[in-house]
Amino acid sequence: MARDRCGVLLVGLTLVSMIASLYMTFLWAPTERTMGDVQRIFYFHVPSAWVAFFAFLLVFVFSLAYLVRRNKRWDNISAASAEIGVLFCTLVLITGPIWAKPAWGVWWTWDARLTLTLVLWLIYVAYLMLRHYMPDPERRATFSAVLGVVGFIDVPLVYFSIRWWRTQHPQPVMSGGESSGLEPPMLATLLVCLGTFTLLFFALLRIRLRLQRLREEADEIQDRLEQTA
Amino acid sequence: MWRAITTILWKDLKIELQTKEAFSASFVFSLMVLVIFNFTLDLTTEEAMKMGAGFLWIAFAFGGVLALNRSFALERDENCVQGLQLIPVDRGGIYLGKCIANTISMLITEIILLPLFAVFFNIDITERLPYLLAVLVLGTVGFSSVGTLISAMAVHTRMREVILPILLLPITVPVLIAAVEATAYALGADTDPSFWMRLLVIYDVIFVTVSFLTFGHILQE
Amino acid sequence: MQWLFAAFAVVWFALFLYLFSLDVKLNAVAKEIDGLKAKLARGKD
Amino acid sequence: MSDKMSDKMPADAPLLLARDLTKTFGRFTALRSLSLAVPEGEFLTIVGRNGAGKTTFLKIVSSIVRSYTGDVLLGGRNLKDADEDTRRKIGFVSHESLLYKDLTVRDNLSYYARMYGVPDRDRKIDEMIRRVGLDAKSSVLVSALSRGMKQRLSLARAFIHEPSVLLLDEPFTGLDERASGILEEVLAEFKRSRGTVIMVTHDIDRGWTHADRVVVFERGTVAKEISARETSLGAFKDEYRRILGN
């Protein structure tokens, strides 16, 4: 019962802060001078990126926990978190070009952050594929935990290599970088949106975990059925 | 531990000498990649100088994937993986033996491929040869360190030939970037490779260590 | 402005799609559980 | 260190002690808090239908499977943190040969002998090759051997490090007459030298021949223990049929 109330509270809070974020993003925040309204994409592009990174961090933490403790719950959380992380990572990769095209005239630039996001997307899509193609649940948990650890340790290395690579292969400099000259109301809007997306992440995670719990329950009943038969 | 490393190494190299499967597959495939690059891009020597490092590492990476797939496929026949699980040695040692064997087998392919590359694209590889060889070794160690670990996972999946490159290539992005940049310097480009060499060393150390520590989990049932 | 709304629509669409797919799966599993429970109850008689 | 451990052990402590073993594969429970003690020198046969947990039990005892709940003590040492010397005591034969088909007969044995740290390796390998009658084939690739020869070589592989506990998983499956003969011979000799054997088999007659005790596994636990010395094979078969029947 307490669990249910907690869930309702989480969803309610998410909805309220969603409305607040929508208001702030579209009506309250001032229009950026050089880019115009398009800059408002920023308010859900950046929080999506934050949620994706946060989700992959959780995958790493719970993968480590699984390797040490071998508790199936940790594996479930890793799986759910990776899936939602990939969802938000995809959103970053879609909203990025939609922003880049009107603002800079190109769909894609191999800038460090965008490229890192793309590589991360590839790593965690591969993670989900590994899970999908592993028939044995126990091996699946162990292997994906190892990959969750290896993949995350790779992140800073990918980042530094891409950043250094960018400095050696200069492309036309994009005017108005993502965080240049952020006015206080803009910052406030961004912070509220970050909060909203984080809440949204946890709400989705709860639903995803409930799905897994029900799945296990179904398997358990099936097991009992087979035993009595 | 030492015993496990040397015995695995001895066994894998002996099998490779007998069958030459990893070598022939990866060598022919890498060669094909180089030839196809030449056809599809039709480069002048100058352009080839600029992009040669990239071609070379694409060829190495694709060939390496084939060699790595083979590495645990041969443990799968007759359930030899169970033999690995039974033997009373440190499993990190088994990893290191496998990793060294894969590195050696990839390096042999690469070193034979190198002069062919020089001939095909009219590139002088002798100018900074020791440097080039150092890059080759560091890059290959990085590639096979994660590759050996993932190859051990991939044999237990459905679609195992496909899953290895899909898992491995994104994770080795830093190695590939660093190796290409450092190789470009070795082929005569006018850049500073010290950052890339450092990155390669760091990557190698991190991933050999992480794989060494986690391989026991992969091998157990 | 239309760029902004395009991006906005994509985010909502993706979110709905994901929630919808979760909902479908949840319903399917719930149904499966009900079916299995009924079977179990029948088996015990 | 190991001397101290054995000092602490009471004299009649079993060589192998499994306590409360539980192992699940996803939704399938292979072992349900199974406990079993095997004294030194005993020949134990485990029978039971498919999926009763027999093979899983052997895999845990041979430390192939390492994630389970419960404990296995071998000579007083917990297998979960067993050192190499403890694990070296175990020999394992299954119907899979665990041989590399692209290595020669001799190299296969040499590989396992090195891994187990067998002293005086070359002499030991020669002896094993002679024992299983493959002298003429020692530098032939395993892929060129017949199935029966492969089985014989697999026996040599399992015995190369002179184990004191022998685990057999359906060892007679697919063996030709000569290989079965050699296996019977080896088992009889192993028993005489007070080696401990745990054999999993479907073949009740063969399993009965050497057994001191027969254990029936059913749904992951021990359903029945029977002393082979106090019961006749016929009586056991009736009992077994009754257990499988319900």
What are A9-21's pLDDT values in tens digits? 888 888 888 888 8
pLDDT over 90 (residue A57): yes
D151–chain B Cβ distance below 8 A for any pair: no
pLDDT over 50 (residue A175): no
Q: How far apart, in whole angstroms, are the C-alpha atoms of residue B13 and residue D107?
A: 12
Q: How far apart, in whole angstroms, are the C-alpha atoms of residue A60 and residue B182?
A: 31
Instruction: Give chain D positions within 8 Å (CB) of B10.
Output: 111, 114
Question: Considering CB atoms only, which of A119, A134, A164 is closest to B156?
Answer: A134
The whole-angstrom distance between residue A105's C-alpha and the CA centroid of its chain comes to: 27
pLDDT value of residue B109:
94
**Range scoring the smallest mean pLDDT among B189-193, C35-39, D110-114, D115-119:** B189-193
D26–chain A Cβ distance below 8 A for any pair: yes
Q: How far apart, in whole angstroms, are the C-alpha atoms of residue D131 and residue D125?
A: 10
Mean pLDDT of D191-210: 85
pLDDT value of residue A181:
60
Over residues A214-226, the pLDDT tens digits come to: 988 888 888 777 7
Mean pLDDT of B16-28: 91
Cβ <8 Å between C29 and A214: yes
Mean pLDDT of D16-24: 86
Q: How far apart, in whole angstroms, are the C-alpha atoms of residue B153 and residue B157?
A: 7
pLDDT value of residue D1:
37
Mean pLDDT of B99-116: 94
pLDDT value of residue B100:
96
Count of domains observed in chain A: 1
Q: How far off is chain A from D22, nearest CA to CA, in Å? A: 14
Query: Which helix (H) or strand (E) element contains residue D93?
Result: strand D90-93
Chains that touch A (3 or more CB pairs under 8 A): B, C, D
Which of B131-140, B150-159, D23-32, D83-92 tops mean pLDDT? B131-140
Q: Which of B86, B91, B156, B217 to mutate to test the interface with D (most CBs of D within 10 A)?
A: B86
Q: Which of D57, D114, D173 to mutate to test the interface with B (most CBs of B within 10 A)?
A: D114
Give the chain C residue nearest A48 (alpha carbons). C11
Looking at chain A, the whole-number percentage of residues with pLDDT higher than 90 is 39
Cβ <8 Å between A162 and B177: yes
pLDDT value of residue A170:
63
Question: What is the average pLDDT score of chain A?
Answer: 84
Where are chain D's structural domains? Answer: 1-89+165-176+196-246
Question: Considering CB atoms only, which of B3, B77, B82 is closest to D64?
Answer: B82
Question: Considering CB atoms only, which of A70, A138, A227 is closest to D26?
Answer: A138
Q: Which two tokens stand for residue C14?
A: 């993706």
Question: How many degrees, rounded to 5, is the angle at CA D196 between CA D190 and CA D201?
Answer: 90
pLDDT value of residue B152:
93
pLDDT over 70 (residue B23): yes
Instruction: Give chain B positions within 8 Å (CB) of A119.
Output: 170, 173
In a domain, A71, yes or no: yes
Cβ <8 Å between B3 and D99: no
Question: The complex's ipTM?
Answer: 0.87
Residue A103 or residue A71, greater confidence: A71
pLDDT value of residue A171:
58
Question: How many degrees, rounded to 5, is the angle at CA A172 between CA A169 and CA A174?
Answer: 120
Greatest C-alpha distance within chain D: 53
pLDDT over 50 (residue A48): yes
D6 falls in which pLDDT band (50, 70, 90)? Answer: very low
A·B CB contacts under 8 A = 86
Question: What is the average pLDDT score of chain B?
Answer: 90
Cβ <8 Å between B82 and D96: yes
Q: Which of A74, A138, A219, A220 to mutate to test the interface with D (most CBs of D within 10 A)?
A: A138
pLDDT over 60 (residue A180): no
Residue D109 or residue D75, greater confidence: D109
Count of domains observed in chain C: 1
Mean pLDDT of A80-109: 89
A211–chain C Cβ distance below 8 A for any pair: yes
Question: Considering CB atoms only, which of A94, A98, A221 is closest to C40?
Answer: A221
pLDDT value of residue A229:
61
Over residues B150-199, the pLDDT tens digits come to: 999 998 888 888 899 999 999 999 999 999 999 988 888 788 888 999 99
In a domain, A18, yes or no: no
pLDDT over 70 (residue D12): no
Residue A59 or residue D206, greater confidence: A59
A148 falls in which pLDDT band (50, 70, 90)? Answer: very high
Instruction: Give chain A positions within 8 Å (CB) of C10.
Output: 91, 94-95, 98
A149–chain B Cβ distance below 8 A for any pair: yes
Over residues C7-35, the pLDDT tens digits come to: 888 888 998 999 999 999 999 988 988 88
Instruction: Give chain A positions within 8 Å (CB) of C14.
Output: 87, 90-91, 94
Q: Domain of C25?
A: 1-45
Q: Which two tokens stand for residue B161?
A: 């030939």
Q: What is the DSSP letter of D168?
A: E
Q: Which residues contact A187 (CB under 8 A, 6 or more apart)?
A: none
pLDDT value of residue A36:
72
A82 falls in which pLDDT band (50, 70, 90)? Answer: very high
Q: Which of D112, D98, D93, D220 minimizes the C-alpha distance to D167? A: D93
Mean pLDDT of A64-83: 92
Q: What does D99-120 look like in DSSP terms, one character per residue?
A: --TTSBHHHHHHHHHHHTT-SS
Q: How far apart, in whole angstroms, are the C-alpha atoms of residue D171 and residue B127?
A: 62
Q: Which of B32, B96, B29, B112 minimizes the C-alpha distance to B69? A: B29
Q: How far apart, in whole angstroms, are the C-alpha atoms of residue D169 and residue D59?
A: 9
Cβ <8 Å between C26 and A229: no
Query: Which helix (H) or strand (E) element contains residue A16?
Result: helix A2-23
A165–chain B Cβ distance below 8 A for any pair: yes
Q: Domain of A57?
A: 44-170+183-223
Mean pLDDT of B10-26: 91
Question: Are the C-beta atoms of A130 and B162 separated by less than 8 Å?
Answer: no
Q: Using alpha carbons, list the distances in angstroms from residue D53 to B210, D24, D80, D224.
A: 34, 10, 19, 14
pLDDT value of residue D5:
43
Q: Which residues contact B96 (CB under 8 A, 6 or more apart)?
A: B4, B5, B8, B208, B212
Over residues D231-241, the pLDDT tens digits come to: 777 777 788 88
Question: What is the average pLDDT score of chain D?
Answer: 84
Q: Which two tokens stand for residue C17?
A: 């799609």
pLDDT over 90 (residue A126): yes
B145–chain A Cβ distance below 8 A for any pair: no
pLDDT value of residue A127:
95
D56–chain B Cβ distance below 8 A for any pair: no
**SS3 per residue for A28-69:** HCCCECCCEHHHHHHHHHHHHHHHHHHHHHHHHHHHHHHHHH
Q: What is the DSSP letter of D141?
A: B
CATH 3.40.50.300 fits D1-89+165-176+196-246, yes or no: yes
**Strands of the D69-74 sheet, one edge to the other:** D28-38, D16-25, D69-74, D77-78
pLDDT value of residue A71:
86
**Range scoring the smallest mean pLDDT among A61-65, D14-18, D195-199:** D14-18
